[in-house]
Amino acid sequence: MKNILIVDDEKNYLLVLEALLSDEGYCVKTCQDPKKAAALALELNPQLIISDLKMPGLTGIELLKEIRENKGQMPFIIMTAFGTIETAVEAMSQGAFHYILKPFSNKELVLIVKRALEMNALLSEKGRLTRELSKRLGFEDSVFASSEIKKIRDLALQVAPTRSTVLIEGESGTGKELIARIIHRAGDRSNKPFITVNCGALTETLLESELFGHEKGAFTGAIARKVGLFEAADKGTIFLDEISTTSEAMQVKLLRVLQEQSFERVGGVTPVKVDIRVIAATNKGLKRLVKEGLFREDLFYRLNVIEIEIPPLRERPADITPLAVHFVRLLSVETGMDVHSISDDASELLCAYSWPGNVRELRNIIERAVVLSNGPVINKNDLPAELQGTTQIISTPEDSTTQSKTLPEAVDNFERQLIVKALKDSAGIRAKAAKTLGISPTNLQYKLGKYKL
């Protein structure tokens, strides 16, 4: 139930308005003393305040200013029987939602109250979503400094209530799927499915069956009808990750879904109608692929109604240290480690690194440092070797780095550097690094301990 506070020195007006708005289903509190109203507002935390303009001791505009100082944004309606253009302008400039002249009709006031409460709900939801987006990405107002991410956050929230298709571009690890989820949650489909499809992880045949489903007997092994992901996402959102990897034939099918909101299951002839919002993402520039003839131009324009480009971490160095500190605090709680800050020399190394794995790599490295740190502060030596400039690969036995080493020492040094490079190339993903090195994940884990990586 919405709480409304009404302030007026005339008791009759308070009684009338209390009865009117209570009948509309609101919880109404009244106050005759404007000097007590500010304290009452802090106590009640109402969603709307309605105040008379001229009252003894404190005007409605003065009350508005005082409440705004303590409560921030809150819908405020000014009532007055002595309306002038000047007072109306002043009230609106101070942030009043509406300025209404006495006497007014009950219908007029109820309508204005409804609109004011709707605006308050939108402001509250925007604030909640902003905090959620910040938390999901690790980007809170007190954590990040770059204007680029603030603009992305605001754009995501702005387009969320619309039905427009969104194309998100950015390198791996920048948070494309997280942006897509925030857009879904902030829109009117938030209570409907959000389905993610990695287009690059499936062959064309499997992708078609996964997206559109198939009929019984459509191919060998199709022993029953299968509902595809587009059908499962009906009324919700489908997120097509790595859209650039789809074949031309699949692109034609996707174009039809976007144009007609319908498709046929594999082996079927009956159109299946759906109502879905499509958000696509890629780590390759689709405009370039269109020019090279590798991606359909018509599909590109269907996808690129709203474009969100997430810059890599190396292009916004102002975010690196604040993000690292944020991850330290977050991961120290998750891991149960007593680590709370980063030393200046460690911070300098973090800022000097190019971050090919972006925010995901930063989080992985901070998690490693939190787990391996011997104290409450992450120091330079707690960071991986690639951040410390010790990753030169030995080229020949005559190299100066090996002249003073024994053969076992040189072999260990060479192996260590290969592991560091593999971890760097795989953005810190150990299973991928082990595969690159041709060893098992268990063996890699042993060597990481051996070389203190």
Three state DSSP letters for 57-93:
CCCHHHHHHHHHHHHCCCCEEEEECCCCHHHHHHHHH
What does the domain layout of the chain look like in residue ranges? 3-123, 138-309, 314-383, 390-453
**Distance in angstroms (rounded) separating the CA atoms of residues 280 and 273:** 20
Look up the CATH architecture of domain 138-309: 3-Layer(aba) Sandwich (3.40)
What superfamily would CATH give domain 3-123? Response regulator (3.40.50.2300)
- Report the run of H or E that residue 36 belongs to, with start and end: helix 34-44
pLDDT at 280 over 90: yes
| pLDDT at site 396 | 40
For residues 143-157, average pLDDT: 79
pLDDT at 141 over 50: no
| pLDDT at site 127 | 61
**Distance in angstroms (rounded) separating the CA atoms of residues 260 and 229:** 17
| pLDDT at site 131 | 55
Ordered alpha helix ranges (H), 96-146: 106-137
| pLDDT at site 144 | 55
| pLDDT at site 364 | 92
| pLDDT at site 387 | 83
pLDDT at 137 over 60: no
The larger pLDDT score, comparing residue 29 to residue 411, is at 29
| pLDDT at site 142 | 46
Residue 197: pLDDT band (50, 70, 90) is very high
What superfamily would CATH give domain 390-453? Homeodomain-like (1.10.10.60)
Fold exhibited by the domain 314-383: Helicase, Ruva Protein; domain 3 (1.10.8)
Q: What is the mean pLDDT of the chain?
A: 83
Q: Which of 43-47, 167-171, 406-410 has the highest mean pLDDT?
A: 167-171
**Distance in angstroms (rounded) separating the CA atoms of residues 359 and 146:** 14
For residues 176-191, average pLDDT: 87
Domains 314-383 and 390-453 share a fold: no
- pLDDT per residue as tens digits for the range 297-355: 999 999 999 999 999 998 888 888 888 988 898 888 778 888 888 999 899 889 888 89
